Amino acid sequence: MGIRSRPWDLPGKLPRRSNRRLWLLPSALLSLILLLSFYSCGSVFRRANNLGRNCLPDSGQISGGPKMRIAMVSLSGESRIGGDGRRSFEGLMETVGENKREYAEKGGYDFIDASDLIDISRPPSWSKILAVRSQLQNYDWVFWNDADTLVTNSSISLERILQAVVGNKDFQSSPDLILTEDITGVNAGIFFVRRSQWSLDFLNTWWNLTAFVRLGSSKSGDNDALKYMIRSLPSDEFESHVRISPMQCLFNSYPWFPTWKTALRLITSPKTTWQGAYSNGDFMVHLAGLDEKRKWAVKILKEINQS
């Protein structure tokens, strides 16, 4: 009886339903616009430097004095321990090695592939500490770069980057560790270490933080250990020994492309995303957290060689 006894409901309901359908159109349009503008963010980020972003502050003339001895150190190990296949570093050195060798030659630096120093009891990424430590006595600065990085603007010298962060200080009074920061904190993928006792102690303590070693995960733990060390430094020690570049894109840019995760990060930390997104003209790209690293590296190499 229920339905038939209330036929007068029907006329009232019909227009309401079509009202609702009318509303669908603008909200679908709005979603489409949001989606499209989100997708176009990628190309906006690629032009960030043309749009006024300044990663490399003009610090005037490179200070005189003897040329600093700088080593560019890297290694790449197949993930015998930890790491899943898609995120593997396999074959990366073959793809990026030449790019770095050429850059080093042009700038008068030594490029050192320290892959033979890998300690196989930990995920390979930890061995960067051993690699840097092994060269520290031979150079003024060691410039560490993970295997999943590329020099994308070879007309920017390491001296210019150091000067942009350190200023015109002489070698003895320079800070010892120069880092960049992303949304999650300091990044262990690319950094500078100065030859000093402090640096040596720092590297030894970092290597000893074995509680952070992660096995069988896509995270190796060395970056978390570094974050922990930086957090636990007394503030006066931090101030005299560590510098974090105000702009991540000074030497550690990440390619930006739309996913749920990057969308969320863009909304929660727009400034940090902007400061770290890879743009044409940036010094170095870091394929941090990306799968198919080799494909990415090949694609970016093609782009920079064409321009």
Ligand X SMILES: *[C@@H]1O[C@H](CO)[C@@H](O)[C@H](O)[C@H]1NC(C)=O
- The string of DSSP letters for 171-211 reads GGGS-SEEE-EETTEE-SSEEEEESSHHHHHHHHHHHT-GG
Asked if 34 and 263 count as a contact pair (C-beta separation under 8 A), the reply is no
Q: Which range touches ligand X (CB under 6 A), out of 94-102, 111-119, 138-146, 198-206?
A: 198-206
Tokens standing for 8?
Answer: 């007068």
Residue 59 found at the interface with ligand X (CB under 6 A): no
88 versus 153: smaller Cβ distance to ligand X: 153
Q: Which range touches ligand X (CB under 6 A), out of 4-12, 63-71, 150-158, 179-187?
A: 150-158
Total residues contacting ligand X (rule CB under 6 A)? 11
Q: Which of 249, 302, 184, 183 is nearest to 48 (CA)?
A: 249
For residue 222, the SS3 value is helix
Asked if 124 and 89 count as a contact pair (C-beta separation under 8 A), the reply is yes
Minimum separation from the CB atom of position 251 to ligand X (A) = 12
34 versus 51: smaller Cβ distance to ligand X: 51
Q: Which range touches ligand X (CB under 6 A), out of 102-110, 112-120, 149-157, 247-255?
A: 149-157
112 versus 150: smaller Cβ distance to ligand X: 150
Find tokens 């940036």 and name the residue.
Answer: 282
Residue 153 found at the interface with ligand X (CB under 6 A): yes
Among 50, 204, 232, 268, binds ligand X (CB under 6 A): 204
Over the window 276 to 305, marking each residue x when it contacts ligand X by CB under 6 A and - when it does not, the resulting string is ----xx------------------------
Q: Which of 155, 198, 150 is nearest to 177 (CA)?
A: 198
Tell me the sheet residues that pair with 190: 145
Tell me the sheet residues that pair with 194: 141
Helices (H), ranges, 78-221: 92-107, 128-136, 158-166, 197-207
Among 41, 48, 56, 287, binds ligand X (CB under 6 A): 56
Q: Which range touches ligand X (CB under 6 A), out of 27-35, 120-128, 199-207, 242-250?
A: 199-207
Minimum separation from the CB atom of position 126 to ligand X (A) = 14
**Residues binding ligand X (CB under 6 A):** 56, 153, 155-156, 201, 204-205, 208, 280-281, 307
